[in-house]
Amino acid sequence: MHSKITEFSELINKDLFEYFDNCLEDYKVIFDSMRYSVENGGKRVRPLLTLLFCDACGGDVKKALPVADAVEYIHSYSLIHDDLPCMDNDDFRRGKPSNHKVYGEAFALLAGDGLLTAAFERITDLYKAGLYSAEVAVNAVSVLSHLAGSRGMIGGQVIDLLNEDNADADIDSLMLMDNLKTGALIEAACVLGCVVAEADEGKIEAARKFAQNTGLAFQIKDDILDVTSTLEKLGKMVGSDEQNGKSTYVTLLGVEKCQKLVEELTQEAMKALGVFENNEALIEYAEYLSKREY
């Protein structure tokens, strides 16, 4: 693994939890619930992409850390809500009981709400402290709110719910859903790294292209792992898509064709990185994501 990937991962894991330290004892439970899901690690794909793109643009990754935190808070909130009985009704996340299995549905719901609003608080607090210009802060909030909202990640979740028990969904429908549900927040993470580095529009568009290809490859790989991995490796129940009667890339194309598509999309993503002089770590990380086993 490239040394920057290791270094930036360590920075993220040190910085993510400061927000939860200052809380009143009267309602500490909500911060404990929020921390529980953020601490329950995962791969930190999105905040890491924020730092990698900031670095590739020649920016200061320490200035990008609050924005990277914000992306991870939103990702964590989406997983808390996704696991709720009214959504996917999953009991496990990353090998541990889902938030609502530990704190109950009400506190899980509020923890997700808390993480969503904390994301924007994190960005604006650092603007008020003088870390960003007003233009950078506004652009960051605009990108994140658009791609995490009803025209992005939430819109994709809605399509997913509408497709429940639909074994006849076609490839185009799946791609639309995943470009929003999974790809939009990955796009936000990549673009935000460029925004904080005050990169030009050419680099921002290249980051979008990378993210769109990587995001789709990421979801197809998830579908592959849902039928080829185990609970121990994946940290959540496997085979759930089949049990829920969902149409997936694997049910439509088969594992072999899906893996080939992951490789093709990854190659397209890496082509977009040509505009960045400092792109070695990003290329290595894209390859790692395409070959991951969990």
What pLDDT, on a 0 to 100 scale, did the predictor assign at position 48?
98
Q: What is the pLDDT of residue 170?
A: 84
Residue 159 in domain: yes
The three-point CA angle 6-284-4 to 5° equals 25
Domain annotation covers residue 117? yes
Q: What digits encode the pLDDT tens for the residues 116-166?
A: 999 999 999 888 888 889 999 999 999 999 999 999 999 999 998 888 766
Show the low-confidence residues of the chain (pLDDT under 50).
none
Domain with 79 in it: what CATH number? 1.10.600.10
| Residue 127, in any domain of the structure | yes
**CB neighbours (10 Å) of residue 94?**
16
Q: Does residue 41 lie within any of the structural domains?
A: yes
Q: Is residue 294 part of a domain?
A: no
Number of domains the chain contains: 1
Residue 25 vs residues 110, 131, 259: alpha-carbon distances, Å: 17, 30, 49
pLDDT score for 2: 81
Residue 31's pLDDT is 95
Bridge partners (DSSP) of residue 96 are 93
Domain that holds residue 59: 3-287
- Give the per-residue pLDDT at 229: 65
Cα angle 243, 176, 85; round to 5: 40
Residue 184 pLDDT: 97
Residue 23: inside a domain: yes
Q: Is residue 293 part of a domain?
A: no
Confirm whether 48 is domain-assigned: yes
Q: CA-CA distance, 136 to 125, in Å (whole number)?
A: 13
